[in-house]
Amino acid sequence: MPPEVIVLGVICAVRPTGAAAIYALLCSAQPRRSLLVWLIAGFVFSATVGLVIVSLLHDVRGFERTTTRSYVIDMLIGSAALGFAAGVASGRMTWRTPVAEQGPSPWIERLRDPSLKILVGAGVATHLPGLLYLAALNAILGGQPSALQGALQVLIFNALWYSTGVAALAAFILRPDATREAIDTARTWLREHERGVVLVAFFATGAYFFVAGAAGLTGVRG
């Protein structure tokens, strides 16, 4: 498995949106049910998207790590991530997740006593495949895996992505009060340092993929 897939999965696991949503769900009327439904709904959605893409493209020529197309895609992903980081750093782009805002918000209030429909919708909305997911899928396809290998790698990526929520649910079952306090501490820290976390994550990801793509293109042309 490409190491980028593991790294990107870990980055997704510590997103500020996830920590805030988990805390809100743990404070809901039925925390175990709420968090479990949220996890299942999000996982089924995001994993299905990844499985469909990989199953459709795993035999398509041009995604091998040694091809120009793969390196160009790496550079485009890297450029997009670097551009986003630059926009946030310059203040031209804002980054503030609704669930991470200080004080009550409509988003959090709806998760206090959510219906099944709201939980499913929140699970999907907070796990929409974005740039980092596309980067992971490109890394998976670049290794030219078989259909089974590709599917397994997609599931591993998603398992890493959801590991924070799964760990929170397990910890809550054993020590509910301590888990709420720990998640709230993490949520508060992420809220205060959210901009820096986003900058580091997107800059590091962008730099890696851009340099890797540029180096690969240089080698192909050489």
Write the CA distances from 77 to 80, 85, 179, 205, integer angstroms.
5, 12, 36, 9
Look at residue 99 in the predicted model and tell me its pLDDT. 45
**Locate tokens 């909305």: which residue?**
125
Q: 85-109: per-residue pLDDT in tens?
A: 888 788 776 655 544 444 445 666 6
Written as tens digits, the pLDDT of the chain (222 aa) is 888 899 889 888 877 777 778 888 888 888 999 999 999 999 999 999 999 999 888 766 555 555 677 788 888 888 988 888 888 788 776 655 544 444 445 666 677 778 899 899 989 988 888 888 988 998 888 877 888 999 999 999 999 999 999 999 999 999 988 988 888 887 778 777 777 877 888 888 889 888 888 888 786 555
Amino acid residing at 96: R
Domain assignment present for 220 = no
Residue 222 counted as domain residue:
no
Angle at 47 between CA 112 and CA 42, to 5 degrees: 5
Give the pLDDT confidence score for residue 49 in this predicted structure: 95
Model confidence pLDDT, tens digit, residues 190-206: 777 777 877 888 888 88
Is residue 122, in this structure, part of any structural domain at all?
A: yes
For the chain, the domain total comes to 1
In whole angstroms, give the CA distance from residue 36 to residue 106.
21
| Residue from 166, 207, 190, 192 nearest 35 by CA | 166
Looking at residue 158, its pLDDT comes to: 96
Give domain status of residue 221, yes or no: no
Domain that holds residue 158: 3-214
Distance CA 79, CA 183 (A): 33
Residue whose C-alpha is closest to residue 159's, from 43, 35, 17: 43
User: Are 142 and 64 within 8 A, CB to CB?
Assistant: yes
- Decide: 156 and 5 in contact? Cβ < 8 Å: yes
Within-domain flag for 123: yes
Whole-angstrom distance, CA of residue 117 vs CA of residue 125: 12
∠ CA 129-135-137, nearest 5°, is 75
Is residue 90, in this structure, part of any structural domain at all?
yes
The pLDDT score that the predictor gives to residue 46 is 95
Domain-embedded: residue 14: yes
Is position 160 within any domain? yes
